Amino acid sequence: MPPGSPCATTAGRASEASTTRSRSITSGARSPAYHYEPETNGCAEKFIQTLKEQVLWIKRFATFEELRAAVRRFTLTHNREWLLERHGYRTPTEARAHLAALAQPAMA
């Protein structure tokens, strides 16, 4: 399927799926799951890519538990120490705390 085409279900006939796809393409509708577009899950994709580059492609793990421990260590380090531009050069932990503080109703 080309990028941005909607998923077809098996509930209808193939011709109905084709018609729905044609209508959505001509109307400009995009799939929310298309990779590498800002309106999708680019932040999650970037985290997974970084995890692969920093942990998974560097070392072979003998056991699943060893892999799990390495991923947890990376996640903790990433959340506590990595400064990210999209968070105003805050760590993810600091960004969450900042957003939580903004969400709290003002105390009078």
Instruction: Give tens-digit pLDDT for 57-95.
Output: 999 999 999 999 999 999 999 999 999 888 899 999 999
Per-residue confidence (pLDDT) for residue 65, from 0 to 100: 97
Average pLDDT over residues 1-10: 45
Per-residue confidence (pLDDT) for residue 45, from 0 to 100: 87
Mean pLDDT over all residues of the chain?
76
Instruction: Give tens-digit pLDDT for 48-63.
Output: 999 999 999 999 999 9
Instruction: Give me the sign of the Cα torsion angle 8, 17, 15, 4.
Output: negative
Per-residue confidence (pLDDT) for residue 7, from 0 to 100: 46
Residue tagged 């957003």 (tokens): 99
Per-residue confidence (pLDDT) for residue 60, from 0 to 100: 94
Per-residue confidence (pLDDT) for residue 81, from 0 to 100: 95
- Specify the pTM: 0.56
| Count of other CB atoms within 10 angstroms of residue 74 | 17
Q: Determine which helix (DSSP H) or strand (DSSP E) holds 13, and give its type and residue range.
A: none
Cα radius of gyration rounded to whole Å, the chain? 21
